[in-house]
Structure formats: structure tokens, C-alpha cells
């Protein structure tokens, strides 16, 4: 219908009908002129662009606002009381065809309303002082996801060893390494910006142990806690010290971080991130045994 209204306006201009301020009424059944005169004017409001078309939103205190209501006025249908109106801005092409309809800068606006009780087509009117609506910021969901990832609260691991840290480790004897099993769990956090909400999820993938002597151990899990009650147990996370000394052992959990979004398309991986490390001092000693012959032996 907007196209038909605009084409009607262009046809009127081509026929030489006056549409300037002070023109005679084009629709005689609207003697008040708001909807029946092409010389009707409005001021203020905002202009927005949707799907390539520019629309005018009247100011809240404007009589044009009542025409934009979605429900019809109460009582008997009145052709001077349209409802469900949208207002399409004609832009420079309409001004070129219809002429200037009032103070400048301004432009023709074409109502598109529904009935019953609606003049069809509705005549255009001249609008001045309309301002562009604030542009909607296109939020990059990846940026929001990165903000969510910063709120994950990755913590440093709690280091456990056997022999326990604080006790001397022995050269040539495997030291069991593990972290608190309760820390081996996924973490999530969310962040929002405008209509976009993202959730970042971090899943632990490995623990890297720096043994302080230049060596490192990578364990694919938290490690196996040592239990003196199970002397036959084994572990896949251990280190055998080659020489004595004092060292600083560091353990770092690495997390695989993924993200998803609501309010925008996207999702995927943010890569692997290292959490804060934990450190403990370790003393490594060498235990030596002296063999003595049994009494009476040669």
C-alpha cells in the first residue's frame, strides 16, 4: 500500500495539482485537514530504517500517535480516525515529485493505515524536525563471549604429592603427583551486551607440572591420589627425581573454553587457556644403604 500511496502522490504532482502549503483540500471528507490536506504538517519524531525503508515515528504528544495505535477507536467507525498506521518517509524522491510542503529541512510522510473507517489512500503530510533514531549497535557475540570467559574464575590447583609436599622426596623413587579431584570440573560464566548474552564454559584438559629442575610432566587428568591402604595401586602421573636438591614445583591446569550465544548467532571455541599456577617448595634427598656382612660370614 505504501508504494500505491507514493505512486498516487507522484501522479498528482505529474497532473499539476498543487501540494504546496496553503493548497486546497485534496480529500473533502476530512474538513479538519489533518488527514485530508496535503498541506498538513507535523514536527518532531524520529526516523528509523528497517529493511531498506525509512519510517517516521511521531512524538508521543502528537495527534498522529493515536493513528498508530493497533486497535480501532471505540464507537462508530470514523474516516477521520484511522488506526494501525505506519508512516513511511518519502525522502528526496517524493520532495522532487511533490515539491516542498513546508519549512525546510523536511520531507513528505505517507500514512499506511487500515480500516474500517479509513480514507484510502491516506494523503501525505510534511514533517519537519524529525531526527534519526539512535543507531542500534551491532554487538559482536565473540567479544561478549571473551568478556564472559574473563569471569570464569579459573583457580590455581591444590597440589598433592606422595611422599607429601613438606617431606623429602627421594632420588630414584617415583613421586606421585595429583591435584584436588574436586577441581577437575567444568566452569561456566555469562556476560550480556544489548540483546546478546553469551555463556563461556571451561573444561579442564590437562595439568602441566614444572618440576623445577628443567623437567616437566603433562598429565591428562587430575592424577591418582595415593592411598597407603592400597600399596599395589599405580598412577599415570608421577616423576622420578634424578638428583637431590631444592626445587619449586609448579602445577598449572589448562582449560578448553567454548562459548554459545542467545540473541545472536554464533558459538564455538575460544581455545585453550591456562589457569593460574600453584607452587610448592620440594626438597629431594638421596637415601644410601650400606651393606654389612652377616656375623660369622667370610
Q: What does the pLDDT look like over 206-258, one tens digit per residue?
A: 999 999 999 999 999 999 999 989 888 999 999 999 999 999 999 999 999 99
What is the reported pTM?
0.54
Domain range annotation of the chain: 2-132, 141-285
Q: pLDDT grade, residue 26 (50/70/90)?
A: very low
Kindly state the cell numbers that stand for 89.
518517509
Question: What is the arithmetic mean of pLDDT over 260-279?
Answer: 93
Average pLDDT (148-171) is: 90
Residue-wise DSSP of 3-67: HHHHHHHHHHHHTT---STTPPPS-TT-TTSTTT-TT-EEE--EEEEETTEEEEE--TTSHHHHH
C-alpha cell at 273: 587457556
191-205 burial, b at 16+ Cβ within 10 Å, e below that, comes to bebeebbbbbbbebe
- Looking at residue 293, its pLDDT comes to 60
Mean pLDDT of 113-135: 72
Which listed CATH number (2.60.40.10, 3.40.30.10, 3.40.50.720, 3.40.50.880) goes with 141-285? 2.60.40.10
* Model pLDDT, residue 52: 67
Residue 6 pLDDT grade (very low, low, confident, very high; cuts 50, 70, 90): very low
pLDDT score recorded for residue 218: 98
Selection from 180, 212, 203 nearest residue 259 by Cα: 203
Which residue has better confidence, 243 or 52? Answer: 243
pLDDT at 42: 85
29 — pLDDT class (breaks 50, 70, 90)? very low
More confident residue, 39 or 131: 131
Q: What are phi and psi of 34, to 5 degrees?
A: -60, -40
pLDDT confidence bin for 16, thresholds 50/70/90: very low
Q: Which residues contact 107 (CB under 8 A, 6 or more apart)?
A: 89, 90, 91, 92, 94, 95, 126, 127, 130
Q: How far apart are CA 51 and CA 46, in angstroms?
A: 16
Q: At what angle do helices 91-98 and 2-14 cross, to 10 degrees?
A: 30
Do residues 137 and 183 make contact, with C-beta atoms less than 8 angstroms apart?
Answer: no
Q: How confident is the prediction for the chain on average, in pLDDT?
A: 79
- Beta bridge partner(s), residue 41: 126
More confident residue, 165 or 33: 165
Contact 204, 223 (CB under 8 A): no
Spatial contact of 225 and 160, defined as CB atoms under 8 Å apart: yes
In this prediction, residue 17 has a pLDDT band, given cuts at 50, 70 and 90, of very low
Do 198 and 190 meet the contact criterion of CB atoms below 8 Å apart? yes
Mean pLDDT of 156-173: 89
Residue 145: helix, strand or coil by DSSP?
Answer: helix
Contact 237, 217 (CB under 8 A): yes
Amino acid at each position: 500500500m505504501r508504494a500505491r500511496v507514493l505512486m498516487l502522490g507522484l501522479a498528482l504532482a505529474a497532473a499539476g495539482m498543487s501540494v504546496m502549503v496553503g493548497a486546497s483540500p485534496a480529500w473533502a471528507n476530512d474538513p479538519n485537514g489533518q488527514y485530508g490536506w496535503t498541506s498538513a504538517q507535523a514536527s518532531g519524531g524520529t526516523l528509523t530504517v528497517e529493511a531498506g525503508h525509512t519510517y517516521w515515528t511521531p512524538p508521543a504528544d502528537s495527534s498522529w500517535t493515536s493513528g498508530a495505535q493497533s486497535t480501532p477507536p471505540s464507537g462508530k467507525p470514523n474516516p477521520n480516525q484511522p488506526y494501525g498506521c505506519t508512516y513511511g518517509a518519502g525522502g528526496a524522491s517524493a520532495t522532487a515529485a511533490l515539491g516542498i510542503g513546508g519549512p525546510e529541512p523536511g520531507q513528505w510522510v505517507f500514512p499506511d493505515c487500515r480500516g474500517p473507517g479509513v480514507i484510502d489512500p491516506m494523503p501525505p503530510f510534511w514533517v519537519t524536525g524529525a531526527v534519526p533514531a539512535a543507531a542500534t549497535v551491532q554487538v559482536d557475540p565473540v567479544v561478549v563471549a571473551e568478556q564472559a570467559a574473563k569471569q570464569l574464575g579459573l583457580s590455581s590447583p591444590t597440589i598433592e604429592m606422595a611422599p607429601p609436599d613438606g617431606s623429602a622426596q627421594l632420588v630414584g623413587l617415583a613421586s606421585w603427583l595429583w591435584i584436588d579431584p574436586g577441581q577437575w570440573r567444568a566452569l561456566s560464566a555469562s556476560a550480556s551486551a544489548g540483546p546478546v548474552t553469551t555463556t563461556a564454559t571451561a573444561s579442564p584438559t590437562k595439568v602441566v607440572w614444572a618440576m623445577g629442575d628443567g623437567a616437566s610432566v603433562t598429565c591428562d587428568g587430575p592424577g591418582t591420589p595415593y592411598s597407603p591402604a592400597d600399596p599395589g595401586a599405580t598412577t599415570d602421573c608421577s616423576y622420578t627425581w634424578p638428583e637431590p636438591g631444592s626445587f619449586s614445583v609448579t602445577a598449572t591446569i589448562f582449560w578448553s573454553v567454548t562459548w554459545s550465544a542467545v540473541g545472536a548467532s554464533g558459538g564455538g571455541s575460544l581455545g585453550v587457556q591456562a589457569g593460574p599456577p600453584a607452587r610448592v617448595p620440594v626438597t629431594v634427598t638421596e637415601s644410601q644403604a650400606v651393606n654389612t656382612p652377616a656375623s660369622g660370614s667370610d
